[in-house]
Amino acid sequence: MQRKRETSSERYKRRIKQRRIFVLSVFAAVVLLCICLFTPIFGITQISVTGNTLLAAEDVIAASGIEKGENVFRISRKKAEKALASVAYIESAKIKRKFPAKIVIEIDEAKQDIIIDTPQEFVVTTVAGRVLEKTDDVTSLTAPIIYGIEVTKSEPAKKIETSDDEILNMNLERIGCFYETDYWGDIDEFRVSDVSNFIMIMKSGMKVTFGSIDSTESLQRKIKMMAQILPQVQQTEKSYLDLTTDKGYFGEYTDAELEEMKKWEESGNTGIIGGDDKTSGNQTDDSSDAKKSDSDDNSKDDEDSSSESSQKTSESSAKPSSKPSKSSEPEEDDEDSVRKKTSASPSASASAKANSDQMKEDAKASASSKAKKESGVD
């Protein structure tokens, strides 16, 4: 069946009809666009924020640049998201429209993971090193403090900078190994000034030394070992856990060692005095004190011997001396002198008592001999 050929008049009518439909469609689109852009129906009446815990919703809204009354279609979502990403505490943001007149701002808020100590202030960052803020007071924060990182630049919303980025990344990677553990909230300090001895301080005061760390895998093995030991021990300020070797060692410092370490840290040091060196140092001091004590005792014994010899000489000549051993001291009788020596030197007590008894016996013998001589003369 052949198709009927379209006449010229019919073709003209069809084209006119198509043009009308096109014009009406464009007109409808323009009208609809004008309604969307300029009528108050789509004016923003509500802006909400989700995902914020540290930042106030008002601050997030202000940083986005979106204001109530603006047309929901006329805002630039990309521009607002970029503006929010420049806020230190916002790692990412997403803008959503809720028709007809609502905006939802979804943010991924950065966490106050670590606090880096610097000579001027504290720098609060994420575990990846993103700077959140700089402050002089961190008493309200629970994040662990990092000692030993030399900061050269710390701009909010940017990664912290140091003189050696390689060492910085290594330390952040090591600290990140603890971030996912169950006891991250129990950690009070990290001390990384000595690259050959990675040190961690628990909030209980217990010190954990890891020594030199060759790789991330090596540190993770030591962390697993620590996780097995911690539930079995009582953590105190005196306790320590040595993980410098393949086998962990738990122990406690003496009061003297603990006091020495406190003085060491108060002087500006962040490391830990080696246990062996400190012990040997104490032993050396004790030995020195013992030698000094022995020397004093020997000196006192020599003085007692000299005094005894002098007393015997005086008694043989029947002229007992009443002068003290030092010219600056007042005169005292023999019993007071013996009592004074006894209280001053316990080691000389027996010798002084013996000397006193010997003096009395010699005096009696001298008196008896004199009486016998007088009796013979008579």
- What does the pLDDT profile of the chain (378 residues) look like in tens digits? 566 677 788 777 878 888 888 888 888 888 777 767 667 778 899 999 999 999 999 999 999 999 999 988 889 999 999 999 999 999 999 999 998 889 999 999 999 999 999 999 999 999 999 999 999 999 999 999 999 999 999 999 999 999 999 999 999 999 999 998 999 999 999 999 998 899 999 999 999 999 999 899 999 999 999 999 999 999 999 999 999 988 889 999 998 988 888 887 777 665 555 444 333 333 334 333 433 444 444 444 544 544 444 444 444 333 333 333 333 444 444 444 333 333 333 333 444 444 445 444 554 444 444 444 444 433
From 356, 366, 254, select the one nearest 308 (Cα to Cα): 356
pLDDT, residue 273, reads 56
pLDDT, residue 155, reads 94
**pTM of the model as a whole:** 0.62
Sheet holding 239-242, edge to edge: 131-135, 122-125, 114-117, 145-147, 187-191, 198-202, 207-211, 239-242, 249-252
Longest dimension (CA), the chain: 191
> What is the pairing mode between strands 131-135 and 122-125?
antiparallel
pLDDT, residue 150, reads 93
Residue whose entry in the numeric block shows the structure tokens 């630049």: 153
CA separation for the pair 165, 171 (Å, rounded): 10
Q: Please classify residue 72 by burial: count the beta carbons closer than 10 Å to its beta carbon, then call 0-12 exposed, 13-18 middle and 19+ buried.
A: buried
Strand partners, 162: 151
pLDDT, residue 17, reads 83
* Contact indicator for 186, 203 with CB cutoff of 8 Å: yes
CA separation for the pair 332, 325 (Å, rounded): 10
- What is the end-to-end Cα distance of the chain in Å, rounded? 191
Domains of the chain: 40-109 (3.10.20.310), 114-252 (3.40.50)
251-290 as b/e: b if 16+ CB within 10 A? eebeeebeebbeeeeeeeebbbbeeeebeeeeeeeeeeee
* Contact indicator for 90, 77 with CB cutoff of 8 Å: no
